[in-house]
Chain A
Amino acid sequence: MTWYAALGAVEQGLVYGIMVIGVYLTFRILDFPDLTVDGSLPLGAAVSAVAISSGVNPYLSLLLALGGGFCAGMVTAFLNTKFKILHLLASILTMIALYSINIRIMDGPNVALLGSDTVFDAVTRLGVPSHFAGLVVFGLFAALVVGGMVWFMGTEIGQAVLATGDNPQMITSQGVNIHVVIIFGVGLSNGLVALSGALIAQNQGAADVGMGLGTIVAGLASVIIGETVFGCQTMARAFIAALLGSIVYRLAIALALGLELGGFRFNPSDLNLITALLVIVALITPNLKRRLLAR
C-alpha cells in the first residue's frame, strides 16, 4: 500500500467513524439494529450539498444535515415504539422511503458542488496543504463527536439511554419513558450518520443517492473490529474503539484492494462482499469458540 493510499484510508476511517459512532449507539447501546443509516448517510450528503449550492454557509449545512438525519431516525423509532413495527422492518421502511426523498431533495440522483466553498476551504485558507485538509477536518469532527458522546453518556439523560438498552423494565420502573429515549437515541444516531454523509459529500465534491449502500454493514464491521481489537470496558474506550475500528476497517479494505494473487485482483465492487464476510466471521466466531471449548 502506498503512503498516499494509507493516508486516504485513515481519512475515510475518520469521516466514516462518525457514522460508526452512530451505529454503535443504536446497535450496541440501545440494542436497536437500525438500517435507516443506509438512507440517512446520503440524506446528510444531499441536504448539505443542496444547501451549499443554494448559498448556505457550509458549516450551517452540516447542522441542517444533522437535523435531517435526526428526523429520519425519529421516524424509524416512532414506527417501532408507537406502532409496534419490528425495529428492523421499521428501519428498512424509512431507508427505502429516504431513497425517494433524497432524489427529491437533490432533484435528481446526484448534485455536484463545483466551485462552491466547503468546510475544507476554510482549513486550506489557514495554510494547511490541501491533501491534509481532509485529515484535519475529519480528525477534528471525529474527535468532537467522540468527546461529545462520552460526555453525554455520562450525564443523567445519557445514563438513562444506557439503561434503556440494557434493561428497559428497570429504567421504566425508575420513571423513564423509554419510548422517548429510543426516539431521541435513534434520532441522534442518524444525525451523526447524516453528519458523516455531509462531510463526505463536501470532501468529494458531490452527493449521490447511491453512496449509502452498505453503510450499515461497514458500520457493524467497524464496531466489531473496534471491540475486538481495542476493547470496550468503559464508555470512553468503547467510543474511541469504534472510531479506531473504522480506521482499521478502511485500512484493511485498502489493503485488500491492493492485493494481487496471481492474476486475481479485488474490484472496488467486491467491497460489500468482503465486508459482509468479515461481519459474518466476527458474528459467528464467539459462538464457534464456545462450541469448540464446550467439547
Chain B
Amino acid sequence: MIRLEHIVKYFHKGSVNEVFALNDITLRLAEGDFVTVIGSNGAGKSTLLNCIAGSFFPDSGKIFIGAGDVTRWPEYRRAALISRVFQNPLLGTCPSATIEQNMALAALRGQKRGLGRGVKGSDRERFRTELRQLGLGLEDRLLDKVGLLSGGQRQALTMLMATMVKPEVLLLDEHIAALDPKTAGHILSLTEEIVASRGLTTMMITHNMKHAISFGNRLLMLHQGRVLLDLCGSDKKTLTVKDLLEQFYLAQGEELAMDSLLLG
C-alpha cells in the first residue's frame, strides 16, 4: 500500500527558473495495483516517482509506504521498500562488477551488509535459476562483467534484480524507452510476468498510449504536475487511444484558451 497526501514540489523555488513540478498530488495505491502513468514531457511523471523513491523531499505533503510515514526518510533508507528501474539501462547495474556480484548486491537490498562473502557459493544456483527465466543465456555468464552486456541485457538483469527482494512498490520510469522494439517487447512481457507472479504494487511511466491502456489495472494521466485522469477497472478496460488523445488535447486546449484569454 502506498499513499501520497497533498504532495507539492517546486524546483528552484523563488528564482526566475522556478518550476512548479508537482501541484498538490493526492493518491492511494492498493496492494497489487499496477498503475500506468502517462503525460506530456515535463508533466511531472519522473518527479512523482523520484519523490516517492526519496531522490528529493517534497516541499509539503506526506508519503506513506506500507504502514509508515516515510516522508523524511532518505533515499537509501526507503530502498528497503522500493525497487526502481530507470530509463537509462546503465543506471541499474554496476558495469565493473560481475553478473553474480550485481545480483548479490540486489539480494541484500535494504538489509544490513557485513563481512560475510559478497557472493556465496550457495547463491550461484539460485542466481542461475532466476537468470534462466530471462531466456538470454545469462545463466552461463555469471562471471562476466556487466559492462560487457548490451543495454537490453542489462535492463533485463535490472528487472530481475529489482524483484529479488520483494518491494512494497516497484517504480518503472520509461524502462523500455532506450531499447529497440524487439527487446522492449521482451522486457515488457517480462515485467508483466514478474509483476503478476509476485503481485507487486507497480507504477510504470510510459509514452506509449497502447501500453498504458493494455497494461495494469489503473491509469493516471499527469499534466502540469497534477493528476488529470485517474481511471481503473472497467473504465480503463474500455478506454481507447482516441479517448486518451482527446483528453490530452482537451487539457492542452484549455491551457491554450487560458493563455489566449490572458493575452487577449
Chain A residues close to B by CB (< 8 Å): 152, 154-160, 162-163, 166-167, 169-178
Contacts and interface: CB of A to CB of B under 8 A. Distances in A.
A5 B151 CA distance: 52
Given A155-B117, A162-B96, A170 B76 contact: no
Contacts of B97: 159, 162-163, 166
B77 A175 contact: yes
Nearest to A153: B118
B203 interface: no
Given A156-B108, A159-B101, A166-B97, A176 B113 contact: yes
Contacts of B91: 167, 169-170
A152 B117 CA distance: 9
Contacts of A158: 118
Secondary structure call for the A interface: helix
Given A166-B94, A170-B92, A171-B105, A159 B110 contact: no
Interface residues of B, number: 34
Interface residues of B, dominant DSSP: loop
Contacts of A173: 53, 75, 79, 82-84, 92, 109
A154 B84 CA distance: 25
A152 B109 CA distance: 20
Contacts of B114: 155-157
A221 to B, nearest CB: 22
A177 B110 CA distance: 10
B224 interface: no
Interface of B: 53, 74-77, 79-80, 82-84, 86, 90-97, 101, 104-106, 108-111, 113-119
B106 A174 contact: yes
A156 B115 contact: yes
A171 B77 CA distance: 12
B113 A156 contact: yes
A175 B118 contact: no
A191 to B, nearest CB: 17
Contacts of B109: 173-175
Contact of A174 (B86, B105, B117): B105
